Structure 1
Amino acid sequence: MAYPSWQEIRKGSIDNTYSFMNPWYVPMIAADMPTFMARPHATTPEELAGADVVIIGAPYVAGWGGYMGVDAEEWLAAPKRIRQQSIRYGSGYIQDFDLDVFEHLKVVDYGDADIPPECLVAPTAENVLRAQAAVEKKVNDAMAAGAVPVVIGQNSPCGSFAIAKVVSERTKGNVGCVSLDTHWDIAPMDKLTMDPRIAGSDSWKYKCYELLDNFDQRHLVEIGERGMHENKDMVRMFLSKGTHFYPMWKIRSGLGIEGLVNELHHAYDGTDAVYCHWDMDVLGGAGPAPGDILGELAEPFGMSDYEVIRLAHEVGRRGLAALSFICIPPGSAATYRVLVYVIMYMCAGLAMRKIAAASEK
């Protein structure tokens, strides 16, 4: 089943008289792209003042025309489609918690990073760095306003290292990391450019710990990898440096989601900030859509949509500096809705944290 057009989505979600959303004004970023959850559209750094959460799109694909057997256009559409799916929901009220997120948090949509078009078709090292810099600028603006940037990307470095780098530069002490992924992404060199400056799809995490002085593996909580993809020497090297690793086998064979939640403290103990990164190929087909839509990224016994959403909520409750996404399964409206839930349930955690802090004063 093909992904619906904006006209079809709008008719079902806004114009349909049976919709909870009717009538509801939806600010637009482009003709077919509403803001996330119909939040205000900020176009300048000044308009981020007072924001708690800033949504940023980073539509970027690392390759010459496609990625992992899926057409580039399908990957690039993710930030737009997640925003489209978000307008199905008429408010920030999450009934699970009897909590309206938007009564407690100011969430704004800062649009997409200004990635030059040529960077999407000619992934030379210089173009990759230009694309990365465009994302860094938006993330810097959000963090300067005191907000948590939420970057909806698709490939590295624009949806990963660009965010980690800004968090690192803006944090005096150590930075912890909670990472969900099917792959470790710890190759010493980017295979696409073979340039040591590039934190590419299979190397961005290695580059974090090589190039960012306040990133240390002792504060890395790595979740979800499985199977036979990795170089044993590289994995063992990260483990020897103190990485806290929770493969799917361990989660499924006894640890469970409650035990996993209890392990998040390793990213927080002894750190001044925590960067959270959800590589959504971790679903692998365990979410609402088959793994086949991920092309070569699909792997058995992935995380469930609940587990991914729950972990986002838990890091929200504990506090975080930034959240980013890559490898969002393309083409499935239901899977794009998972991302809406991930963001909103993370925001619910932040709101609970804010409410608790206010009650202690």
Structure 2
Amino acid sequence: MPHYPGWDATFRGKVWRTTHFPRIKEDMPTFLGVPHAVKKSDLEGADVVIIGAPFVAGFGRQYSGVDKDEWIEATKRVRQQSIRYRSGYIQDFDLDVFEHLKVVDYGDADIPPETSYEGTVEKILEAQEATIEKVNAALDVGAIPIVIGQNSPCGSYAVGKPIADRVTGPVGMVSLDTHWDAWPYDWATMSPHIAGSTNWKDKLYRDCPNMKIANLVEIGERGMLEDPATVRRYVREGACFMPMWKIRTELGIEGCVRNLDQAFTGTDAVYCHFDMDVLGGAGPTDGDILGELAEPIGMTDYEAIRLGHECGKRGADGLSFICIPPGSAVTYRVIVYVMMYFMAGLALRKLGKAA
């Protein structure tokens, strides 16, 4: 696994800023130096609210063959890598995101660290509710939550359900993943109360009647991992399924982007979920960084960033991340790019330039 440089080495590296930027903790700046929202009243007027959800599923010290200490650091390390950038100006679009969107960082959900090592049903539900509380606070002021998570339910169900609960009409979803996460039960706990890594999508559709599979755009799965009945059910019920094979052989990224419309057309809200194990071995670092989650025919970093941007342009109502590949500085920067290019899409939409 690549050696992550840590805060001191990161801050001594190519950082354009001085020491004067908001910090959530000594070694955790706010995302790209945006204002730190400490209280709910600090969210007033925000267009986008950044939220961390540091949670890793299961009992013990490892998740999918990788030390949990590496997984759980994602919310901090993404922020650390973000501060190396000068501002919200994206030269690709000649656009300063922060001139058009008010963005604040609401810190991390109140999830005790031991929850990631002692994954009881009670602790997981407490972590889920802590995340939902932060997401609801953002939605209450009309802002778009962006949740930097690491496992379900905190980085998936706890974001999608509050979004669905806000509207009465159909809710679409754009999901990037290596796995469908649509089994009828959570393997880790076998509890019907838990929307876990293996079943959060199934539970979200059961608990949110206005979320329709016909408005699901599912991107990135491949290979021999899934139960055929599960995949066939989702396709039969109208999901737009784009496995990586189809993207590589037929659609390309432009065809994939066009198909995003299935989640947005005729819906009242859209939830975007990026499970970053979708990168497999095709991202900017060794695929083995993901442990048992690494699979061939992975999505590239450009494809993930582009899809984030296009979801922003179409007016997504929330974005979340799980399974952020651990331990690589450049891979954390991919998440920074997805977030910023997503927000650039929101800004272009606000300016009437999203076509």
Q: Equivalent residues in 2 for 1:175-186 (5 A)? A: 175-186=171-182
* Other-structure match for 1:57: 52
Distance in 1 separating the partners of 2:183 and 2:233: 12
The TM-score with structure 2 as length reference comes to 0.97
* 1:225 paired residue number: 221
Q: Unpaired segments of 5 or more residues in structure 1?
A: 15-20
Q: Secondary structure at the match of 1:356?
A: coil
Corresponding position of 1:194: 190
Q: Do residues 264 (structure 1) and 260 (structure 2) align? A: yes
Cα deviations across residues 95-152 of structure 1 (Å, max 9, x unaligned)? 0000010110111100000013442222111111111000000000001111110000
Q: Aligned to 1:184, what secondary structure does the other structure show?
A: coil
- Partner-residue secondary structure (3-state), 2:173: strand
Residues 160-169 or 111-120, more deviating: 111-120
8 Å contact from structure 2 (residues 153, 195) kept in 1: yes
Letter of the 1:4 counterpart: P
Q: Distance in 1 between matches of 2:281 and 2:86?
A: 28
**What is the rounded CA distance, in whole Å, between the counterparts of 2:14 and 2:50 in structure 1?**
21
* Residues 1:288 and 2:284 are matched in the alignment: yes
Describe how 1:46-125 pairs up with structure 2 within 5 A: 46-64=41-59, 65-125=61-121
Q: Does 1:348 align with 2:349?
A: no
Is the CA contact (8 Å cut-off) linking 2:22 and 2:35 kept in structure 1?
A: yes
Equivalent residue for 2:34, pick from 9, 16, 39: 39
Does the aligned pair in 2 maintain the 1:13–1:87 contact within 8 Å? no
Distance 2:267 2:66 in 1: 38
Deviation track 1:210-254 (CA, whole Å, cap 9, x = no partner) reads 111111100000000000000001111111111110000000002
Pairs aligned (count):
352
Residue segments in structure 2 that go unaligned for 5+ positions in a row: none
* Structure-2 separation of matches of 1:104 and 1:213: 35
- Once residues 118 and 254 of structure 1 are traced to their aligned partners in structure 2, the CA distance between those partners, rounded to angstroms, is 46
Q: d(CA) in 2 for partners of 1:37 and 1:220? A: 31
Q: 1:138 aligns with which of 128, 134, 137?
A: 134
Cα deviation for residue 13 of structure 1 reads: 3.6
Instruction: Give the % identical residues.
Output: 62
Q: How big is the alpha-carbon RMSD for the aligned residues of Structure 1 and Structure 2?
A: 1.2
Aligned-partner SS, 2:107:
strand
- Is it true that 1:321 corresponds to 2:317 in the alignment? yes
Cα distance, 1:208 vs. partner? Answer: 1.0
**Do the aligned residues in 2 keep the contact of 1:186 with 1:234 (CA within 8 Å)?**
yes
Structure-2 separation of matches of 1:352 and 1:9:
31
Q: Is the 8 A contact 1:131 1:158 kept in 2?
A: yes
| AA partner of residue 52 (structure 1) | D
Distance 2:112 2:276 in 1: 25
Secondary structure (helix, strand or coil) at the match of 2:164 reads helix
Runs of 4+ in 1 over 4 A off after TM superposition: none
CA contact (8 A) 2:136 2:162 kept: yes
**Are the aligned partners of 2:17 and 2:83 in contact in 1 as well (CA < 8 Å)?**
no
Give the TM-score, by structure 1 length. 0.96
TM-aligned CA deviation for residue 22 of structure 1: 4.1
